[in-house]
Amino acid sequence: MASKHLIQPRTLKGFKDYLPAAMIPREWLIETARGVYRSFGFSPIDTPALEYAEILLGKGGDESDRQVYRFVRGQREIALRFDLTVPLARFIAQHEHTLGLPFKRYHIGPVWRGENTQRGRYREFTQCDFDTLGTDGMLADAETGLVIHELFRAIGFERFTIRLNNRKVLSGLLETLDLKQQAVPVLRALDKLGKLGKERVTEELVSAAGASPAQCRAILEFSAIQGGPREILDAVEPRVSGSPLGAEGVAQLREVVAGLEAGGVGQDNLQLDLSIARGLDYYTGTVYETFLGDLPDIGSVCSGGRYDDLASTYTKSHIPGIGASLGLDRLLAAMEELSMIEPVATPAPVFLPFFCADRGPDYCRLAMSLRRAGLATELYPNPRKLGEQLRYAGRRGFKVAVIIGEQEWADGTCQLKQLESKEEERLPVSDLVSRLLELLAP
Amino acid sequence: MASKHLIQPRTLKGFKDYLPAAMIPREWLIETARGVYRSFGFSPIDTPALEYAEILLGKGGDESDRQVYRFVRGQREIALRFDLTVPLARFIAQHEHTLGLPFKRYHIGPVWRGENTQRGRYREFTQCDFDTLGTDGMLADAETGLVIHELFRAIGFERFTIRLNNRKVLSGLLETLDLKQQAVPVLRALDKLGKLGKERVTEELVSAAGASPAQCRAILEFSAIQGGPREILDAVEPRVSGSPLGAEGVAQLREVVAGLEAGGVGQDNLQLDLSIARGLDYYTGTVYETFLGDLPDIGSVCSGGRYDDLASTYTKSHIPGIGASLGLDRLLAAMEELSMIEPVATPAPVFLPFFCADRGPDYCRLAMSLRRAGLATELYPNPRKLGEQLRYAGRRGFKVAVIIGEQEWADGTCQLKQLESKEEERLPVSDLVSRLLELLAP
């Protein structure tokens, strides 16, 4: 067998392995999101990775955008899901009568897109979505923001901003100004305000949206309104009161803001921004984005909004809803950059070296007693030299080693070594659990 | 849009959706397994769903067995992983120097096989594997059994049997009997002992393995040895002492049994069975299977064993190890049959109806105060009639509803309704958290 030709171990371009040091914070973040979603009554679902291509792409759907992995098997054209929203639409259309509405679900799972990998994007990534379907009540919109707020607090952030908008307000203004048909070029121009300044944006409003000087002035005044959410709404209300849509947008925002404030979202974490253009073709009311105070440039790490009719491709039932999605990979990259992630490659804090070869069962017994006390413990499997075992433990990132040799087995003591500080202490084995719980308390 | 042609919502044959009532116990079981794996120091990893077909199948590998999903994209032949063991072998070969050995990992994720679906099998299913790589120490083998033991206890089983074997023992016997080359037909015949009885098996040993009457007698005597693990080992030892392989198998089993007993595995949960044939072509030493006392016929729900050289397709490094895999879907089916799964479609115990339309923020505030006390709470999003909201809550499986109308908001009380017993009580809102924690304590 020595001359056997080896296959070079490697992953496909755009795909990657997660080693423990990357996977441990990833699992922690997913567990944290799951815990917050569940605390609001969102239920887990899962759907297949593979579906009929027609289901995922629609008839004659344009797959080039999404770079869908698609292939033929037997008689069937099948594809790998490229998001969790299209499967949700199919799912709710198929199971509506079993599930009943309203229906609150979360869905955490991998999706695949054969995108250009040059921008540091991967072709397989995990989405963490939550949605409330079958309701147009603004309490659902408020609770969506509360989920985002609780989630970022649970992760450990204090400095973050939830940006809130309702697309109806700007639409209402444009209706009032007789520019309703020009929403897309107006938003596109407004989006550049920070970069280009008022004058250049005015030029674009004139050239691309055909706006008059008065219309330009009104739009720029509108986008310059600043202050707390209520101040902004008070200033905006009279400007859109001529439009039922605009008035509805303001009223909805008032309800959402009241819910967010009652639910504990402070002024520092909430910002009303009536020009957020996100999801132009998709969201119809409330829109959310979330920015990190210490790393705003990485963009929104949790975004979502309200849609009018989710599943019209598959059912005549009209199913409105609201949802958002945590940008897992982007957030992990940010946490890494902000040194919020401890570089460890083991989920266990306690390391138990094995170095009296004939005492295997005794080590097993001790390890189990620590585990049953809630102390995750790795027992080294071979009776190697202690130094070698401790170097292994240091590389992995264990917090403490519990060292017991023949002497200690005989007299019922152990040596406890903190692996970073190298501090050592000797104590009776009978005190070990309580001492470890104390040392490892968060 | 009314006349738009709808696409029928459906999943591919052999694939299925997980609705909340199925997904909640599934997530719980995965979380339980993860918790047990972590308590032993196994670290999480993940690998891509898609890999080079050559990596997954080997050069000229036979894919028909596994019914691999395989397709061409661009210049590349790619495939969906059909298990987590081949990716582990590729992973350890690729990252050996970063990871270091020994290396303990768990990996929980979906795999895909285009199998015949007639036997109730699905083409997408989840594997929950754990392995210890890079060691031949029997403590790793003992700890593998301890993981299984802790896992089934954590799930809630008391009546289960971990069947243990070491393939070297029977090989040693066959060596002693000069039947080493006939291991496969001998094991195949022995496997039918329960069904066919001694006489028919003897016939098969003669016809298929060419065994003499004395050889047949020795084999049947061997397989009839019964008792506790130590009794069996004492009875077997002299029969295989002529074979170094057999003697090593017995010595290894003694070490493993001692570790299991020291780690708290009781006589009721452990059975030595020297004829387990599992993984004939794969496992080389210790073998584990796990059977449920109340549902033995569904077969093993957690199996594994020791292998000599995991990654020889990709590296010259010799990497032995031991691992096992929880049969998630089979176990969930068993738990369903044993009524161990509560039929609920929500992860939240508390339901908060919304029925004073102008009190939205107050409901948000109350819901958040319950959530922050650890009480998962769903707030209904629309101010519908109370009866309708309570029917919704009953269908979902909430435990209690906290009912607050205008009267209650005014006087600071609430009505607490247990949804199954219909018991009702009135109490001050200030006592609500402590009363709910008491009511919902496990």
Query: With bands split at pLDDT 50, 70 and 90, how would you rate the model's confidence at B61?
Result: low
A341, amino acid identity:
I
Q: Which residues of A touch B263 (CB under 8 A)?
A: 361, 364-365, 367-368
Mean pLDDT of chain A: 93
* Closest residue, chain A, to B98 (C-alpha): A19
Per-residue pLDDT tens over the stretch A296-352: 999 999 999 999 999 999 999 999 999 999 999 999 999 999 999 998 999 999 999
Whether B5 maps to a domain, the answer reads no
CB pair distance less than 8 Å for A50 and B377: no
Contact in structure between B365 and A262 (CB atoms under 8 Å): yes
Residues 165-224 of A with CB under 8 A from B: none
Q: Is residue B165 pLDDT above 80, yes or no?
A: yes
Give the tokens for residue A2.
């020595």
CA A174 remoteness from chain centre: 33
Which uninterrupted H or E stretch holds A125? strand A124-133
CA proximity to B324, closest of B367, B288, B366: B288
Examine the domain organization and report whether B279 and B299 are in the same domain: no
Lookup result for tokens 């609705």: B19
Contact in structure between A32 and A156 (CB atoms under 8 Å): no
Q: Is residue A2 pLDDT above 50, yes or no?
A: no
Examine the domain organization and report whether A297 and A154 are in the same domain: yes
Question: What Å distances lie between residue B117 and A41, B109, B301, CA to CA?
Answer: 34, 20, 20
Q: Could you say which of B17, B259, B261 has the minimum Cβ distance to residue A91?
A: B17
3-state secondary structure of A266: coil
ipTM of the complex: 0.94
Contact in structure between B214 and B179 (CB atoms under 8 Å): no
Contact in structure between B176 and B287 (CB atoms under 8 Å): no
A319, amino acid identity:
I
CA proximity to A319, closest of A168, A140, A102, A167: A102
Examine the domain organization and report whether A152 and A184 are in the same domain: no
**Which residues contact residue A328 at a Cβ distance below 8 angstroms, ignoring those fewer than 6 apart?**
A26, A29, A30, A33, A125, A126, A127, A128
Q: Is residue A93 pLDDT above 80, yes or no?
A: yes
Give the Cα separation of B378 and B390 in Å (integer): 12
Examine the domain organization and report whether A312 and A364 are in the same domain: no
Examine the domain organization and report whether B23 and B46 are in the same domain: yes
The pLDDT value given to residue A276: 78
Per-residue pLDDT tens over the stretch B74-110: 888 999 999 999 999 999 999 999 999 999 999 999 9
Last residue of one domain, picked from the residues B316, B343, B370:
B343
For residue A249, how many other CB atoms are within 10 A of its CB? 27
Whether B145 maps to a domain, the answer reads yes
DSSP classification of residue B267: G
Mean pLDDT of chain B: 93
| Number of domains, chain B | 3
Examine the domain organization and report whether B337 and B355 are in the same domain: no
DSSP classification of residue B58: -
Examine the domain organization and report whether A316 and A409 are in the same domain: no
**Can the peptide bond before residue B9 be classed as cis, meaning omega within 30 degrees of 0?**
no
CB pair distance less than 8 Å for B381 and A71: no
Which uninterrupted H or E stretch holds A396? helix A386-396
Give the tokens for residue A321.
């809803």
Q: Does B99 touch chain A (CB under 8 A)?
A: yes
Examine the domain organization and report whether B327 and B407 are in the same domain: no
Whether A272 maps to a domain, the answer reads no
Examine the domain organization and report whether B33 and B101 are in the same domain: yes
The pLDDT value given to residue A191: 80
Per-residue pLDDT tens over the stretch B328-360: 999 999 999 999 999 899 999 999 999 899 999
Examine the domain organization and report whether B35 and B137 are in the same domain: yes
Q: Which residue has the higher pLDDT, A60 or A358?
A: A358
CATH label of the domain that carries residue A404? 3.40.50.800
3-state secondary structure of A163: strand
Q: Does A324 touch chain B (CB under 8 A)?
A: no
Q: Which domain holds residue A361?
A: 350-439
Q: Which of A40, A115, A318 to mutate to test the interface with B (most CBs of B within 10 A)?
A: A40
CATH label of the domain that carries residue B269? 3.30.930.10
- Cα torsion A258, A263, A264, A267: sign: negative
Q: Which residues of B touch A90 (CB under 8 A)?
A: 9
CB pair distance less than 8 Å for B139 and A379: yes
CA proximity to A346, closest of B387, B22, B38, B48: B38
Query: With bands split at pLDDT 50, 70 and 90, how would you rate the model's confidence at A381?
Result: very high
3-state secondary structure of A410: helix
**Which residues contact residue A351 at a Cβ distance below 8 angstroms, ignoring those fewer than 6 apart?**
A377, A378, A380, A389, A393, A396, A398, A400, A401, A402, A419, B41
Which uninterrupted H or E stretch holds A440? none
- Cα pseudo-dihedral B96, B100, B105, B109, rounded to 10: -30
Per-residue pLDDT tens over the stretch A128-180: 999 999 999 999 999 999 999 999 999 999 999 999 999 999 999 999 999 98
Examine the domain organization and report whether B220 and B235 are in the same domain: yes
Lookup result for tokens 């392989």: B245
**Phi–psi pair at B112, nearest 5 degrees:** -135, 130
Intra-chain end-to-end CA distance of chain B, in Å: 51
Residues 127-166 of A with CB under 8 A from B: 132, 135-140, 142-143, 146, 150
Contact in structure between A292 and A158 (CB atoms under 8 Å): no
Lookup result for tokens 């080389």: B284
B200, amino acid identity:
R
Examine the domain organization and report whether B236 and B288 are in the same domain: yes
Give the tokens for residue B405.
């109308």
CA proximity to A239, closest of A167, A178, A172, A182: A172
A198, amino acid identity:
K
Whether B3 maps to a domain, the answer reads no
Last residue of one domain, picked from the residues B343, B362, B384:
B343
Last residue of one domain, picked from the residues B343, B365, B385:
B343
Strand partners, A403: A415
DSSP string, A92-111: HHHHHHHH-SSEEEEEEEEE
